[in-house]
Structure 1
Amino acid sequence: MGVDGAVRPPAYQTLAEDLRAEITSGRLRPGERLPTEPQLCARSGVSRSTVREALRLLASQHLIVTTRGVTGGSFVAHPSPQDLSDTLSTGLNLLISTATAGLCDLLEVRESLEVPAAAQAARRRTEGHIAELEAALLDPAEMDVTALLATHKAFHAALVAATGNPLFELLSRPLYQVSNEREVAATAPPGFWQQVDLDHRELLRCVKAQDAEGATKVAREHITFIRTALVPPD
């Protein structure tokens, strides 16, 4: 506890915060090697076990990678929207599990991201993106709930990838990794997945035709349908 009565964070957390600041500020660049464990001990005045705990924390947040061997060490990770979104997913699931945020909040954020993302995807998509979207179309007559949820997630991941904007990917991916998705899916009314399938196919048609206006309209109507189908009336 500090002199002002505040509880001090553990030493490993303080060291991790210092290193994180160096990484996020750009002072340590992707691929660059961090100081060695003995160097970090000497620089920070902490034990080797504290240094290792700090490095484990940074690795769990996908900020560094550690390799073994003569040329091994800890290196700043190359940023990956998919890896970094895992950290956001943890926070999102915590909010959902504690009822701090609900389905209405989730759909509100989805709408704010998915609608402009659909328009950007229509403008920027490549033939490779089209192939990924086609491969992620639903088959409600043959798929069980697990397969439907996985395919639904893959479709939207392919859609945001088609924007060519890694920030869309980083922010959108966690929205399809919520821990209560099976519970929500269980409340879906009859015909729900069939309509989701129709929406996805129409969205694909607009993206393929590079119809940004049409993609915007379909994406907004898609969220409206999900909200109407899954959110109980007040």
Structure 2
Amino acid sequence: MPTPAYQSLAADLRDRIMAGEFRPGDRLPVEPELSAAYGVSRSTVREALRLLASQNLIATLRGVSGGSFVVAPRPEQISDYLRTSLDLLAVDARITVDQLLEIRDLLEVPATGLAALRRSESDLADLRATLFDPAALEPEQMYEPNKRFHAVLLQASGNPLVEVVARPVFQLLDERFLRGRAPGRFWHEVDRDHREILAYVEAGDEEGAREAAHAHLGRLRPTYLSIDRTR
């Protein structure tokens, strides 16, 4: 099937944006200009602009000074887009829990090592604040501090791209395969591992932090696989 005209137009505009012809904050040519330049109807132009807006590449403002402007994507927008795509792949059974755990190990273990080298005192305080006593809390109360611990580790790595890519993988695993379904002993292991990782990060021990993070993710694997088999 031939590509619809609005998709072809959107693809060309996207390429021009990526090439830097239109930079964040620039206004795209108005609808009549785009219609004339590409030899398409204004309705085709509007559909193309709507497609680019849905991809967070442009924002359309109304009014005298309005128009379609190139936006500077925020890291959380990219993470959200990746998360949606991962969700769809998981639903379609084209991505397994083993594959998710592998990519999480590839991303989070080096990030934890970087956190040991680059963490600030504020990062350490935030990590300590996520620690919890599994004996004093219900399982549902431990989910958020657990998620926060890993989010702070990614942040402390000092590389925002690691955060962008790793966060959706962690969220998918934690929400789809873990929330409310992990056995009680699981949280005691998580607490112990988090305290060990934190100790290495506090000491600035890159290798120790990496090894502790790798061991932690390895210990999570049987629980994730067990939950996955019962879904």
For the 8 Å contact 2:154–2:162, the answer to whether it is kept is: yes
**1:210 aligned partner:** 204
Structure 1 pair 179–191 and aligned structure 2 pair: CA distance change class (3 A): closer
Amino acid at match of 1:154: R
What RMSD over aligned residues (CA atoms) do the two structures have, in Å? 2.5
Matched, 1:113 2:103: no
Q: Give the Cα–Cα distance (whole angstroms) in 2 for the partners of residues 39 and 177 of structure 1.
A: 43
1:72-107: CA deviations, max 9, x gaps? Answer: 222222232211121111211111111111111100
2:12 to 18, 22, 25: 18
Q: CA distance change for structure 1 residues 191 and 179 in 2, over 3 Å: closer, same or farther?
A: closer
Q: State TM-score, norm by structure 2.
A: 0.85
Q: Supply the distance in 2 between the matched residues of 1:127 and 1:180 (Cα, whole angstroms).
A: 27
Q: Distance in 2 between matches of 1:189 and 1:90?
A: 28
Which deviates more, 55-64 or 173-182? 173-182
Structure (1 or 2) with the greater helix fraction: 2
Match of 1:45 among 39, 49, 70: 39
Correspondence for 1:3: none
Letter paired with 1:142: L
Pairwise CA distance, 1:138 = 4.5
Contact 2:87/2:172 (8 A) holds in 1: yes
Matched, 1:142 2:149: no
TM-score by length of 1: 0.84
Judged with a 3 Å threshold, the aligned counterparts in structure 2 of structure 1 residues 224 and 44 are, in CA distance, closer, same or farther, namely same
Q: Which residue of 2 aligns with 1:63?
A: 57
CA shift, 1:122, in A, is 1.4
* CA distance in 1 between partners of 2:154 and 2:55 (Å): 22
Q: Secondary structure at the match of 1:203?
A: helix
Between the two proteins, the alignment pairs up a number of residues equal to: 227
Residue 162 of structure 1 aligns with which residue?
A: 156
Question: How much has 1:69 moved relative to structure 2?
Answer: 3.0
Does the residue aligned with 1:41 lie in a helix, a strand or coil?
Answer: helix
- Residue identity in the other structure for 1:53: E
State the one-letter code of the partner of 2:107: L
CA displacement at 1:158 relative to structure 2: 2.0
> Could you tell me how far apart the structure 2 residues matched to 1:47 and 1:179 are?
45
User: Match of 1:92?
Assistant: 86
For residues 128 and 68 of structure 2, the distance between their equivalents in structure 1, rounded to whole angstroms, comes to: 40
Identical counterparts, % of pairs: 51
Whole-angstrom distance in 2 between the partners of 1:182 and 1:10: 36
Preserved CA contact (<8 Å) 2:177 2:224:
no
Aligned partners of 2:10 and 2:51 also within 8 Å: yes
Which AA in structure 2 matches 1:161?
Q
Given that 1:36 and 1:73 are in contact with CA atoms closer than 8 Å, whether structure 2 keeps it comes out as: yes
Structure 1: unaligned runs, 5 residues or longer: 1-6
Distance 1:56-1:151 versus aligned 2 partners, 3 A rule: farther
Q: 1:61 to 1:203 in 2, by over 3 A?
A: farther
* Structure 1 consecutive aligned stretches of length 4 or more whose deviation exceeds 6 Å: none
Equivalent residue, structure 1, for 2:167: 173
Q: Decide whether the 8 Å contact of 1:33 with 1:74 is kept in 2.
A: yes
